[in-house]
Structure 1
Amino acid sequence: QQLVKNFFLNRERSLIRKINEAIMSLLLELHYEKKDILEAYANEIYLGQDGNRAIHGFGLAAKFYFNKPPQELTIAESVLLVAILRGPTYYDPRRHPERALERRNKLLQIIWRDGLIDKQQAQTAMAAGLGVTPKPRLGSSRYPAFIALVKRQLQQDYRDDDLRSEGLRIFSSLDPVIQQVAEKALVSNIKRLERQPGLLEGGVVISRLGSAEVSAVVGGRQPRFDGFNRALDIQRPVGSLLKPALYLTALSQPHRYTLASQIDDAPIKLKQSDGSIWSPANYDHKNHGKVLLADALIHSYNQAAVRLGLELGLGQVADTLHELGIEERIPPYPAVMLGSLELAPLDIAQMYQTLADEGFYTPLRAVRAVLDAKHQPLNRYSLDTQQRFAPEQTFLVNDTLRLALREGTGRSVARQLPRSLALAGKTGTTDDLRDSWFAGFGSDYLGVVWLGNDNNAVIGLTGASGALRVWADIMGQINVTQAAPAQPANIEYVAIDATTGLLAGSGCQQEIKLAFIAGTAPGEYAPCAGGAVRRSVGGFLDRLKGWFR
């Protein structure tokens, strides 16, 4: 009956309420074992107050009064919590230690008399002090970086007046297991990678695909420190992490661009507004000439990216970034295509969430629900899911990012992970190796990792040699689904000659299988596949196949 009163009903005093209480109590006893009811009561009962935060349940009370989990409590400490039940304010062991001690010892005598403990245990417990910590320790959360995101989203999504109500219950999307995996991966890898002890920092955001719920946030190498939150607040150039948006812009025009389209990865010089010349180079300091659009993304060629961006128009690329979820103003400069834009890991997580969710944009969220004192959900500002890109368009980009991870910039680490996980991702490295980024996803979760120094000093790490190692440690443990990504019905795979971008045949030495939206694959065969004669025969056979479908 007490559980029903605390958990299901309000404080109204009326005959109807008493009748409901009696009926619900009977229903509980009919459907649940007494031990289950007692366990629920133990997790719900009020045991104290930490400022404006109510302490409910023995687990939270053990942390609040003794700074330890309940399984580590002594007999004296456990009985003290039971003693407080009668009146958490009156028997508050910090404010009224004499009352609490007297009440505790009285209960110890009762449980000794009832045979629950022996005489020696009772005497030892009664001789012990109260053992409470000098002051509450719950003011600082175990997960301050995640709680910071919760607080921000509460302010964004709910009215201030509603949040000032007493007795609110906030349900978050935190996954403690994934949070601990992310913390351990970041801290352990930082210790291995840093050149000067204590300087290298990092930030991590993990979200669940489909729901866009944030599962973990790590704000730095000291996860328990409630200070600068690098996962939310660091603003750093993101390197090549924006390139998928560039290629998505192109592939959204399937009759103009496909993964087999050729782009010129030749040197380019652009005059800046101040008269200076900007001439971007590839990371390997080589020019690769005509390359497939897919290869340009797989190997992250800078010159090809700039040329493609200028061909598309910087405004179109900026529009794509905004549609993916980047809210910051995007300046119309070519350098943006190579990641000069400064963003936080959370911003990048939002962008890649839209990619991973097949073009559906859903705002990342850490708050599932907020209930008032009557257990009714508070009204929140709407969080609509919007389809901003066709699934086949994002599939082409994501499929290429899977190749990038296995065969391109991420191959050094990714090959150590099981291929069955179907992971995809992109490295990001900034000038002079000051920032190391990686963003990617599997079948279940998405992760973004940043490594760098707070003073913007050189760290000597690329995206592959730094952030990717942290990401791989995390994703290898939390992505358990091994099913292949869903393939849209209008996607087909075709063997392409990597040199020409035309259809490959048995005589082609450099062949790559690429995804195409149906009807957009090349219609001609490469010279290595037989030249003009083979092309006409091949085209005739293709038409024959079409007639018999």
Structure 2
Amino acid sequence: MNKLNAKTRKRGFRVRALFKNLAILTALGLIASAAILVYLYATSLPLAESDRNSRLLDSKGEVIATFSAGGKDSIPVQLQNIAPDLVNATLAVEDRKFRDHLGFDIQGMGRAVLVNIQHMRMSQGASTLTQQLARNLYLSHEKTWTRKAKEAMYTAQLEMKYTKDEILQMYLNEIYYGHGAYGIEAAAQMYFGKSAKQLDLAESAMLAGIPKGPTYYSPYNHMKNAKDRQRIVLKAMIETGNITQKQADTAYEELLHFKPESERKTVESAPYFRDYIRNIAVKELGISEAMLDHGGLNIYTTLDLRVQKAAEQAVAQGMDAKSELETALVSIDPRTGYIKAMVGGKNYRTNQINHVLATTRQPGSAFKPIMYLTALESKQLTSASIFNSQPTLFHYDNDRKTYKPGNFGDKYLGEIDLRQAIAASDNIYAVNTIMKIGPEKVVSMAQNLGITSKLNPVPSLALGTSPVSPLEMASAFSVIAAGGQRTPPIAILQITDAAGRVIYESPQTKAETVVEPAAAYVLTRLMESVFENGGTGNRVSAAIKRPVAGKTGTTNTDAWMVGFTPELSTAVWVGYDQGKAISTSDGRRAAPIFAQFTEQALASVPPKIFSVPDQVVSVYINPETGKLAGNGCEDKRLEVFIEGTEPTEVCYGNTEVEDSPQDKKAREVQNQKGIQEQKHSWWRDFKRWWVE
């Protein structure tokens, strides 16, 4: 009996000890659980993947694009602005117990665990809507136990920190619907051309079925799969009591009107400029690709989105979408060096080469102004200098080599001055000029203007035979537009990190005088003749309602229009990547693109004349002789000169009688009047255009 009692007491002791230990373990478990819950609640969620994408902003702070590898198209929208049918369809097919659970479907998880143990791998999941959101925001989609543990932690935190409606809203703004569309608003706009609030039942069921397999269930890729999936979604909505069988049948039979694929947004704004900025950030500023893609950086640029859209529209209207012909447009503010617009090609989706940066293109006659600027500044040439435009054989390199250029169409104009030579793009006049001043000086001038490509100092340089890039040409012409002041092209103004701290700021660079202002102005006035009667750009002059100067250029493979106003210096190039010959019609595309862009980009800017610097004089000359227009000289033209280079000889017409003192005094008054007319002529022209 005593032994029996002892055994009973011993057994009771062990039971009490067991319960005590269980109680302790339970208490510890509860304490640990409470601690974990407190920790999870107090700990901030990591920065969401979608929020870490670095952004590209224009000069006004408007977002241009993101640097995410996928190029997301996302439009956030409030839950109340999403059609209830879409919300119900999503919950019915993705997570029916969403409103009731705490982030986890315990029964579903149990079934998934058994299947995974059976297969000894992560083969099946039971993700709730909250779990999907956690994975999309913070994690990869790999099937590992570590990732599942992190997913559980982030899921719990989401449920603690946000309401069900907030989680649902985040989910619907984050989920991927295919073809680059993230979020229901972007999807509704892409597929149906309407807002998420306007979706009907049939459209909602179609979109709600896509996230399970964005490629497989895309109506653009596989319509049958998409319709089959739509039927499954509608059936789920019947089972959850959201709709009746009749409503489901009607929705399934509804003919859906999808937005044509040709109208879908395929790329973000300014894609070539985005790639240009990426290259600068990585190669010049030392920012890693990973930081650029997911570091939450804000990159503030010089681009003006309104001007950029004008450039893209001009290119779209000026080019043939079906042709292999390519193009490039870049525009710089001469006053600051800011790159305001960049279009590197006709279609970024099919060709990512940024032709703005291509240094394999011959500028042709568009290079001539750089040579003429050299001659004007050295005072070896003036507006009145005359050469004979005729077939000519030039000797150079100590007479060991010869060069025989020709004019387009073998048209020779005889005795012409510089204004006529620029307007008609005369090649003989140009080579005469470079032979007079020396090609080495032209190379030096080009380098001062910012051209870094290697230039061959030979007579043919006058005709633009050394390749340069459109960016170099726009930059060089911007110096002329700025009256000889050079500011290197700038694209990035400032970069801030995810916390708003400035990690890069563009250095303050002062404009440097690299050309005599008077020489730059005289050349500008001469280049205006390109858009006047007889000029190679005259056919587009009616499209530009403001003072503009420029130069066309055409070779066998390239067509150019480079020009400027006081606000924008723009280069347009047209040609083939393969370097094949362009047709006459292809060669005529650059000028209209330039004209349309310039006028549209400056539509809100009042026309402005080019500022007249000191050391510039205006006098009346006789174009045939290049002399001052005196008494009896009927043919006269007001012309500009660098002070001290104006002609001193007088043309008397058919009479040999020299001007009397009174005539000389009258001519001086006339020339002074000419100076005033020169300063006010563009304002008068603008008023005339306005009235017309």
- Kindly tell me: are residues 499 and 229 of structure 1, through their superposed partners in 2, closer, same or farther at Cα, counting changes over 3 Å? same
TM superposition shift of 1:238: 0.8
Q: Is the 8 A contact 2:330 2:572 kept in 1?
A: yes
1:461-500 matches, cutoff 5 A: 461=584, 465-480=588-603, 481-500=606-625
Q: Which residue of 2 aligns with 1:106?
A: 164
- Kindly tell me: are residues 106 and 172 of structure 1, through their superposed partners in 2, closer, same or farther at Cα, counting changes over 3 Å? same
Match of 2:393 among 263, 269, 273: 269
SS at match of 1:147: helix
Q: Is the 8 A contact 2:53 2:296 kept in 1?
A: no
Give the whole-Å Cα distance in 2 for the aligned partners of 1:522 and 1:191.
Answer: 49
Percentage of pairs with the same residue: 23
Cα offsets for 1:182-206 (capped at 9, x unmatched): 22221222229xxxx4221111112
Cα offsets for 1:232-254 (capped at 9, x unmatched): 12511110111111111111134
SS at match of 1:342: coil
Give the whole-Å Cα distance in 2 for the aligned partners of 1:58 and 1:415.
Answer: 35
Match of 2:420 among 295, 301, 307: 295
> Could you tell me which amino acid in structure 2 is paired with residue 107 of structure 1?
D
Give the whole-Å Cα distance in 2 for the aligned partners of 1:454 and 1:145.
Answer: 16
Q: Is the 8 A contact 1:413 1:464 kept in 2?
A: no
TM superposition shift of 1:499: 0.3
> Could you tell me which amino acid in structure 2 is paired with residue 186 of structure 1?
V
1:347 lines up with 2:355 in the alignment: no
1:457 lines up with 2:584 in the alignment: no
TM superposition shift of 1:323: 0.7
- Kindly tell me: are residues 109 and 395 of structure 1, through their superposed partners in 2, closer, same or farther at Cα, counting changes over 3 Å? closer
Q: Is the 8 A contact 1:48 1:55 kept in 2?
A: no
Q: Is 102-111 or 364-373 further displaced after alignment?
A: 102-111
Give the whole-Å Cα distance in 2 for the aligned partners of 1:535 and 1:91.
Answer: 95
1:131-530 matches, cutoff 5 A: 134=214, 141-155=268-282, 157-159=284-286, 166-191=295-320, 197-225=322-350, 227-233=352-358, 235-254=360-379, 256-270=380-394, 277-379=402-504, 382=507, 383-418=509-544, 420-430=545-555, 433-461=556-584, 465-480=588-603, 481-505=606-630, 507-528=632-653, 530=655
Give the whole-Å Cα distance in 2 for the aligned partners of 1:529 and 1:205.
Answer: 51
- Kindly tell me: are residues 543 and 466 of structure 1, through their superposed partners in 2, closer, same or farther at Cα, counting changes over 3 Å? closer
Give the whole-Å Cα distance in 2 for the aligned partners of 1:180 and 1:362.
Answer: 24
1:129 lines up with 2:208 in the alignment: yes
In structure 1, runs of 5+ residues without a counterpart are 1-44, 112-117
Structure number with higher helix proportion: 2
> Could you tell me which amino acid in structure 2 is paired with residue 150 of structure 1?
I
> Could you tell me which amino acid in structure 2 is paired with residue 171 of structure 1?
Y
TM superposition shift of 1:397: 0.7
Give the whole-Å Cα distance in 2 for the aligned partners of 1:362 and 1:55.
Answer: 23
TM superposition shift of 1:381: 7.4
Cα offsets for 1:285-317 (capped at 9, x unmatched): 133333212222222111111111111011111
Q: Which residue of 2 aligns with 1:114?
A: none
In structure 2, runs of 5+ residues without a counterpart are 1-45, 91-98, 104-129, 142-150, 170-196, 216-263, 672-692
Q: Is the 8 A contact 1:241 1:428 kept in 2?
A: yes
- Kindly tell me: are residues 411 and 241 of structure 1, through their superposed partners in 2, closer, same or farther at Cα, counting changes over 3 Å? closer
Q: Is the 8 A contact 2:391 2:412 kept in 1?
A: yes
Give the whole-Å Cα distance in 2 for the aligned partners of 1:160 and 1:65.
Answer: 19
TM superposition shift of 1:372: 3.5
SS at match of 1:513: strand
Q: Which residue of 2 aligns with 1:74?
A: 82
4+ runs deviating over 6 angstroms: 54-61, 63-66, 76-80, 86-89, 96-100, 102-105, 108-111, 124-128, 137-140, 272-276, 542-546
Q: Is the 8 A contact 1:524 1:539 kept in 2?
A: no
Q: Is the 8 A contact 1:524 1:535 kept in 2?
A: no
SS at match of 1:308: helix
Q: Is the 8 A contact 2:630 2:667 kept in 1?
A: no
SS at match of 2:366: helix
Q: Is 149-158 or 439-448 further displaced after alignment?
A: 149-158
Cα offsets for 1:415-454 (capped at 9, x unmatched): 3224x41011100011xx3211100112322221111111
TM superposition shift of 1:228: 1.3
Give the whole-Å Cα distance in 1 for the aligned partners of 2:571 and 2:525.
Answer: 18
Q: Is the 8 A contact 2:406 2:428 kept in 1?
A: yes
> Could you tell me which amino acid in structure 1 is paired with residue 390 of structure 2?
A
Cα offsets for 1:357-379 (capped at 9, x unmatched): 11111111211111234534335
TM superposition shift of 1:87: 11
Give the whole-Å Cα distance in 2 for the aligned partners of 1:59 and 1:425.
Answer: 30
TM superposition shift of 1:162: 12
Q: Is the 8 A contact 1:238 1:437 kept in 2?
A: yes
TM superposition shift of 1:276: 7.0
- Kindly tell me: are residues 360 and 108 of structure 1, through their superposed partners in 2, closer, same or farther at Cα, counting changes over 3 Å? closer
Q: Is the 8 A contact 1:504 1:525 kept in 2?
A: yes
1:90 lines up with 2:155 in the alignment: no
Give the whole-Å Cα distance in 1 for the aligned partners of 2:341 and 2:55.
Answer: 24
Q: Is the 8 A contact 2:369 2:523 kept in 1?
A: yes
Q: Is the 8 A contact 2:360 2:469 kept in 1?
A: yes
SS at match of 2:320: helix
TM-score relative to the length of structure 2: 0.60
SS at match of 1:343: coil
TM superposition shift of 1:331: 1.4
SS at match of 2:573: strand
> Could you tell me which amino acid in structure 2 is paired with residue 74 of structure 1?
I
TM superposition shift of 1:226: 6.0
- Kindly tell me: are residues 153 and 263 of structure 1, through their superposed partners in 2, closer, same or farther at Cα, counting changes over 3 Å? farther
> Could you tell me which amino acid in structure 2 is paired with residue 151 of structure 1?
R
Cα offsets for 1:23-46 (capped at 9, x unmatched): xxxxxxxxxxxxxxxxxxxxxx96
SS at match of 1:534: coil
Give the whole-Å Cα distance in 1 for the aligned partners of 2:323 and 2:363.
Answer: 23
The alignment of Structure 1 onto Structure 2 pairs a total of residues equal to 483
Q: Is the 8 A contact 1:497 1:511 kept in 2?
A: yes
SS at match of 2:579: coil
1:39-50 matches, cutoff 5 A: 48-49=49-50
> Could you tell me which amino acid in structure 2 is paired with residue 129 of structure 1?
A
- Kindly tell me: are residues 99 and 338 of structure 1, through their superposed partners in 2, closer, same or farther at Cα, counting changes over 3 Å? same
Give the whole-Å Cα distance in 2 for the aligned partners of 1:524 and 1:472.
Answer: 40
TM superposition shift of 1:142: 3.6
